[in-house]
Amino acid sequence: MRDNMEQRARELAVYIIEHQTTIRAAAKHFGISKSTVHKDLSERLDKCSHALYLQVKQVLEVNKAERHIRGGMATREKYRRASSAK
Q: Note the pLDDT tens digit of each residue in 29-44.
A: 999 999 999 999 999 9
Instruction: Give 10's contacts (C-beta < 8 A, 6+ positions apart).
Output: 45, 48, 49, 52
pLDDT at 52 exceeding the cut of 60:
yes
Amino acid at 1: M
Q: Is the dihedral of CA 22, 29, 41, 12 positive or negative?
A: negative
pLDDT tier at 1, thresholds 50, 70, 90: very low
0.75 cut: is pTM over it?
A: yes
- CA 82 to each of CA 45, 49, 68, 75: distance values in angstroms, whole numbers, following the listed order: 42, 46, 21, 11
